[in-house]
Amino acid sequence: MGLHVITGAGAIGTATARLLAASGERVRVITRSGGGPDLPLVERVAADITDTGRLAELLHGARTLYNAAAPAYQDWRTAFPPLAASLLAAAGRTGTDYVMLGNVYGYGPVEGPLTPDLPMRPDSDKGRVRAAMWEEALAAHRAGRVRVAEVRAGDFLGVNVLGLFPLLAVPAVLAGEEAVLPVGLDAPHAWSYTEDVARTLIAVGGRDDGWGRAWHVPSTSELSPRELMGRLAEAAGAPSPRLRTTTREELDAAAAADPVMAEMPEMAYQYDGELRLDASDTERLLGVRATELDHVLKELISTGPSAYRPTGPSPISSCG
């Protein structure tokens, strides 16, 4: 029985903790609030992971560090670099293997399927932040200071996900209401089921030959957002979904009122064109395959639209 440390207790961190504990592994989940899944073999600790000394103490005796924590979306430029630096330094100081949860922002616009060996060529602020985090971690790995790998996912799909479509589209479709999104709706798009993300993280961390590189999560679907919401409505017996893209005036008003909405335009290219992930290495070498879309849709439907209704004043203010 090994000890694994997970930073962050959102949908991905929680799924990772649950799967590790179910396999008999000890898990320590670190969040600012001390939250996380209340399960046997899971210890929950309140700590600030930007405090490198304290984080190193909590990594003592751990085999693997999985980071699933991220600052608020609008704070990535200033808050992500010190968080990433602390995680990397603490892992190196303690000799803990480090698996990063990433995304595909660092690639920038690319024609055709994204492969994990593509260079980092971001053209957005958030992409530059993500690329720098990986390049610094990879440099530390190549210098022999820490073993590191990054797992990159498409848009998250699953229960309790804080994201554009889970918060704004899923509840509206299940309730038979109109959904208005600040992005395009008709290009093929990679969707990553939360459990598949967690399984990929664990698979990478459990091997000796998966370090020093990135891995893609197999996509549960590459349907366009409009097609995906149509499948959801059909499976739920709901009316055909009514989706539309915000007008420029609506987006300007939303951006003025909500700092997260102000971050949307620079990443809109990921929805305006196709976004496909090549995860053949993950399937072939790690044995992780995507969960069938029908299973994911049934899970979304079983929670009902109220499960996705945000409790705060803004529907996506806590996305990250």
Q: What is the pLDDT of residues 124-147, one digit of tens each?
A: 999 999 999 999 999 999 999 999
Is the pLDDT at 311 greater than 50? The verdict is no
Q: 3-state class of 212 per DSSP?
A: coil
Rounded to an integer, the average pLDDT of 60-88 is 97
> According to the model, what pLDDT value does residue 1 have?
74
Q: Name the helix (H) or strand (E) containing 202.
A: helix 194-205
Class of domain 3-154: alpha beta
Burial of 181 (0-12, 13-18, 19+ CB in 10 A): buried
The mean of the pLDDT values for the chain is 93
Report the CATH number of the 156-190+221-308 domain. Answer: 3.90.25
Rounded to an integer, the average pLDDT of 79-86 is 98
Confidence of residue 176 (pLDDT cuts 50, 70, 90): very high
Please say whether the beta carbons of 30 and 54 come within 8 A: no
Q: What is the reported pTM?
A: 0.94
Question: Are 3-154 and 156-190+221-308 the same fold in CATH?
Answer: no
What span, in angstroms and rounded, lies between the C-alpha atoms of 226 and 210? 36
What span, in angstroms and rounded, lies between the C-alpha atoms of 231 and 224? 11
Query: First CA to last CA across the chain, in angstroms?
Result: 32
* pLDDT > 70: percent of the chain: 95
What span, in angstroms and rounded, lies between the C-alpha atoms of 245 and 231? 19
Closest CA to 169 of 184, 159, 179: 179
Domain extent listing, the chain: 3-154, 156-190+221-308
Give helix 125-142 / helix 76-94 axis angle, nearest 10°: 10
